[in-house]
Amino acid sequence: MPMQIGLDELLTMLVSRVEDMTLDSENQKSRFNIMFRMLYKKGLFDEKDAVDAIREENRILLELGMIKAMPDDKTIKAAADNLMLWIKGDAKEIKHSMEELQKRLQEAAEKQRAPKIDVAPAGVLNELDRLGGSNSGKKLIL
């Protein structure tokens, strides 16, 4: 006989699983950060190695068809710089970087909310006026 389960029980199980996966992900990130900090402090890699590794990763992703184009050198360098901030543990610079990102995101969101004015070509307006009837001289504004 098939087992029946309520929707609330199913949702509870799914939310619990997502929470477990989130905790596991955060735990893995912490472990990787700790390991990379140890390796960096021992002098086993530097900023150039980070740039080279990111470039190699993107080359592989490109060959596998997972990305459409190779990022430019500026983008790769920015990603390496960001990675190195975490590895070096430069909390002040990380905080500054996060504030700058938040500022850019807010500016982009404000641009999205700005009212837009679309202007139709004269031919389209004339056609709309013609279809609109005998109100000659009036232009349709939406």
pLDDT digits (tens, 9 = 90+) for 72-90: 999 999 999 999 999 998 8
Q: What pLDDT was estimated at residue 114?
A: 67
138: pLDDT strictly greater than 80:
no
What's this model's pTM, rounded to 2 decimal places? 0.59
Residues 6+ apart with CB under 8 A from 129: 135, 136, 138, 139, 140
Q: How far apart are CA 67 and CA 64, in angstroms?
A: 8
What is the rounded average pLDDT for all residues in the chain? 87
136: pLDDT strictly greater than 70:
no
Number of other CB atoms surrounding residue 140 within 10 Å: 13
At residue 5, φ and ψ (nearest 5 deg) are: -135, 140
One-letter amino acid for residue 78 of the chain = A
